[in-house]
Amino acid sequence: MRGLFDRAAAVTSKPRGGIVRGGEPLFFPIVVGRKGLPPRTLNNPGQPVRQRNTLILAALLILLGAYVYFFEILPGDKPKGDRLINFKPDEVASILLTYPKQEIQLQKDAVGKWRLTQPLQAVADGSTVGGLLAALSAGAIRRTLEKKPGAEDLKNFGLDRPAAKISLTLTSGITLPGLIVGAATPLGNAAYVQRSGDATVYLVDASLALGLQKKSDDFRDRQILSFPLESAAKLTIQTGKESVVLIKGEKEQWQSAPPAKGDVSGAAVVEYLVAIGGIGAKAFVDDHPKDLKRYGLDPAPVKVAVAGKDGNNLAALLVGGKSGDSYYAKREGEPQVYAIDEPSYRSLLRRLPDFLAEDKKEPKQ
């Protein structure tokens, strides 16, 4: 056994890779082993560092667990299900959203349709507005944190400079207490909020706070053409020098107009009308264009128009130049320029044979 340690001492008589100060190494590895097997180091200089890191991580996990328990699991002062704002969505007449860099206002018109009134005038998407109001009306308090927060508390909760404020006015003219949204919790699954006129800080689900982070374009109606399908009696598709004109006869049968007069498939026409009515804006390009030639819309190479029985125009779509994988488009009679995607553009390009009934189509060669 002594010979074994003697050989090990001989192997380690010179430091290998150790730091030397004043001619002396800072550490001497002690190696043990058996003949024919590689030596094994007993003392590892990096071991204390690893132990310290492990202790730090363990302490952080304990602190994190304590935070989750006391602030996100432990029941608060408020009973479960207590609502932030008590109202019925269909009773709301106007919405005001205030952000650090913009203000968005929505107003319900006389027929119950929502419109954007600030920062621009535009038709609003009713489903988006409805979803926002539904989330607010169902928003519940998870926990009451501070009833009398100080300035430092408000700063820590992100309520000194709120991310968003929302105010609702009912059809009765009553303005409800507003909601002030602060920062998210460290875990990100909850957020700090206050009600205007109430200093108390509450904890709510993060989904509610995230749902309030909107831009004006998020509320805009992306449907470009909107017309009553049952009123459509004439369809005109103009692509360059070629045009297709289809009209609905007295027996509700769609036909091609002279000189190419003849019956067409009513189902194919209705399918096309539904498709163009469903085309949505990929992006809002220009709300007040000064030069339509810039977008290839003066004149527009593609035009699709829908008219009623008395010849009145129900809707007309103009499509112009291409930009990347999108095409510029606008509704005739309105200033806004939109971008539509490639599939939407191609769905507009139809020729007369595409509408013919199966028994009227020429057999394929």
Residue 28: predicted pLDDT: 44
Same domain for 247 and 278, yes or no, is: yes
Phi/psi for 71 (5° steps) reads -110, -20
Distance CA 208, CA 215 (A): 16
Domains held by the chain: number: 3
- 77: number of CA atoms within 13 Å, CB side? 7
22 lies in some domain: no
Note down the domain range covering 196: 89-219
Weakly modelled stretches of the chain, pLDDT under 50: 1-32, 34, 37, 41-42, 73-79
Same domain for 235 and 327, yes or no, is: yes
Same domain for 241 and 169, yes or no, is: no
80 lies in some domain: no
10 lies in some domain: no
Query: Which CATH number is 196's domain given?
Result: 2.60.40
Same domain for 95 and 212, yes or no, is: yes
* Of the residues 195, 219, 243, the one at which a domain ends: 219
* Of the residues 168, 187, 219, the one at which a domain ends: 219
pLDDT tens-digit series, residues 205-246: 999 999 999 999 999 999 999 999 999 999 999 998 899 999
pLDDT tens-digit series, residues 270-329: 999 999 999 999 999 999 999 999 999 999 999 999 999 988 999 999 999 999 999 999
Residue 49: predicted pLDDT: 57
* Of the residues 197, 219, 241, the one at which a domain ends: 219
Same domain for 126 and 186, yes or no, is: yes
* Predicted TM-score (pTM) above 0.75: no
Residue 44: predicted pLDDT: 53
Same domain for 173 and 294, yes or no, is: no
| Residues 89-93: contacts with CB under 8 Å, at least 24 apart | 89/130, 89/133, 89/134, 89/137, 91/170, 91/171, 91/172, 92/133, 92/168, 92/169, 92/170, 92/171, 93/169, 93/170, 93/171
Nearest to 209 by CA among 228, 188, 239: 188
Residue 68: predicted pLDDT: 53
